[in-house]
Amino acid sequence: MHGTRDGLNWPRAQALAARESASYIARNPASARLAGLAAQHLLFGVPMHWMNDWSTPFALTVSEASGARFRDVDGHEYVDFCLGDTGAMFGHAPSAVAQAIARQASRGYTAMLPSEDAAPVAAELARRFGLPYWQFALSASDANRFVLRWLRAATGRDKVLVFNGCYHGTVDDVFVDLVDGVPTQRDSLLGQVHALTDHTVVVEFNDLPALEAALARGDIACVLAEPVMTNIGMVLPEQGYWEAAQRIIRHHGALLVIDETHTISSGPGGYAREHGMLPDALVVGKPIGGGIPCAVYGFTEEVARKVEQAKRGAPPGHSGVGTTLSANMFAMAAMRANLEQVMTEAAYQRMFGLAARLADGLRDVIAGHRLPWCVTRVGARTEFQFAPSAPRNGGEAQAILDGELEQIIHLYLLNRGLLITPFHNMLLVCPATDESDVARLLTAFDECLGEMR
C-alpha cells in the first residue's frame, strides 16, 4: 500500500510550506488590506465561506480576468489553470459572450417571458447533446435538483441512486457516502434535518453487481452520475462499464441522468455524446453561458412526455421547479453566443492538444522525481493524483487525497503566477492558453517537486 507522501522528504515539504506562506504574505499587501476590510462586514471575511479553503493565508483579490489570465490587486499576472473550476472553461470573458451581453445590457435582463434567443438556444442544445427537450436553471445545483423532482414525479418512484464520493452541487439528496460499506449522511452538512438515506441509495462507481442489486428493488427513479467522476479526484469508467450499467438501469425501469457540468471538457456534446451513451436526461451548468450564471437540462422525447403529463396531472400551484430569474434574457444571450461562437469544435481541438501536452509533461516530471503518482486526462481536464495508478471508485479516490500536500503545491505555483484548482489537483486549459503557459507550469511543478525531495 502506497502512502501519498512516499518519495517525499516531509520535513522539507513542511519547511517549504512555511516559506511559501511568508512569501505570499509579503507579495500581496493590497490583497491583505482588502481582506482586512472585508472581514468587517463579510461573514468569514469572504463573499462565500469556501473562499477561505484555498491554500493562501488570506484571499487573493482579483482585479480583472481575460482569456487564460487574470490579474490581482497587487498587479501580479497569473496563468489560470483553474478557470473558475470550469465556469470559465472557455476563457475569462470570451469576446463573443462579452459582446452579446453588452448588446443585451441595454435591452433588458429579465421579464419572466422568453426572449428571441430561447428557441435557437434550445435547438442548438438539441443538436449538440442529442436530446430534444430543454429547460433552464441558474446553476447546475438547481438544474440537478429540478431534474430529480421531475423524474420522481414522472416515474412515481421516490429514490435516487448516486455514486460514492460524487458531487452534483448543493443538492441535499447526493450527500450520502459509503462509510465502511454503510450508507451514511455526510456529517459536514449544515442544518440538514431530513433523513437523506431514506431516499438516496449509494454504491461504488465501477461496481456493476452493486448497481444491479440496488436497482433490483425496483424503487429507484433515476441514477444521477457524472460519466467520469471528477469531484473526488478523477475516476474513469472501466472498459465496458457504462454499456453494462446502462443496460442494467434500463432493465430495472430506472432513468439515467448524466451531469456533464465538468465532463463537458470531453467535447462539444460532452462525454456522453463522445462515447455513445444514451442518457434519459442531461445536465450542464457552469461554462454553458461562458461564466454567466445559468444551466440547462434536457430530456428524451419519452421522458419529456412523462414530465409534461406529471405537471398537467398535478393540482394547480407551485411545482417546486424553477426560480424567477431562470432563463432570463441576459443568460440566454450569453448562452447563445457561447454555444454558437465559443464552444466550437475548433476550440476543443486546440484545448485537447494543449491538455495532452500538459498531461504528458506532468507524467515526465513525476517520473523524473520517481514519485508514485499518476495523471488522468478527460479532454481539456487533467489531474495528477497521489497514487501509482488511477483510483477505481470514490472510496479509493478519497483514500489518496492529501489536503496538506495539495496546498503546498498549489501555494508554490500561485506564488509563481500559476493558479490550479483547489481541493484536488485539477488543471484546465482554455482556447486562450498557449504552449508557453503549459511550459511555465511544468517548469514550476518540476521545481516544486525538487524542493520536496
Ligand X SMILES: Cc1ncc(COP(=O)(O)O)c(C=O)c1O
- Give the interface with ligand X as residue ranges (CB under 6 A): 139-141, 144, 167-169, 226, 231, 259, 261-262, 285-286
* 256 CA to centre of own chain: 19
Report in angstroms how near the CB of residue 393 gets to ligand X at its nearest: 16
Q: 94 vs 289, which CB is nearer to ligand X?
A: 289
C-beta closer to ligand X: residue 284 or 387: 284
Question: What stretches of 330-411 adopt beta strand conformation (E)?
Answer: 374-378, 381-385
CB of 209 to ligand X, least distance (A): 25
* Closer to ligand X by Cβ: residue 170 or 341: 170
CB of 342 to ligand X, least distance (A): 18
Closest CA to 293 of 423, 141, 426: 141
Partnered with residue 92 across adjacent β-strands are: 67
The number of beta carbons lying within 10 Å of the beta carbon of residue 318 is 7
> Nearest approach, Cβ of 285 to ligand X (angstroms)?
5
Contacts of 72 (CB under 8 A, 6+ apart): 28, 30, 31, 60, 61, 62, 63, 78
3-state helix, strand, coil in the chain (%, to 5): 45, 15, 40
Least Å distance between CB 331 and ligand X?
13
Cβ proximity to ligand X: between 161 and 366 the closer is 161
Minimal distance, residue 144 CB to ligand X, in Å: 6
CB-closest chain residue to ligand X:
169
Phi, psi torsion values for 103, nearest 5 degrees: -60, -45
Query: Of the two residues 122 and 234, which places its CB atom closer to ligand X in the complex?
Result: 234
| CB-based burial label for 95 (10 Å; 0-12, 13-18, 19+) | middle
Phi/psi of residue 281, each to 5°?
-150, 155
Smallest distance, ligand X to C-beta of residue 89, A: 12
Q: How far is the CB of 257 from ligand X (least distance, A)?
A: 11
Bridging pattern class, strands 159-163 and 200-203: parallel
**Which helix (H) or strand (E) segment is 305 a member of?**
helix 301-313
Instruction: Pick the closer one to ligand X by CB: 25 or 325.
Output: 325
Start-to-end CA span in the chain (Å): 20
CB of 142 to ligand X, least distance (A): 7
Compute the distance between CA of residue 397 and CA of residue 401 in angstroms, rounded to an integer: 7
Q: Which is nearer to ligand X, 152 or 286 (CB)?
A: 286
- Of 233 and 285, nearer to ligand X (C-beta) is 285
Question: Is 450 in contact with 371 (CB distance < 8 Å)?
Answer: no
Is 55 or 139 the residue whose CB approaches ligand X more closely?
A: 139
Handedness of CA 392, 403, 440, 444 (dihedral sign): negative
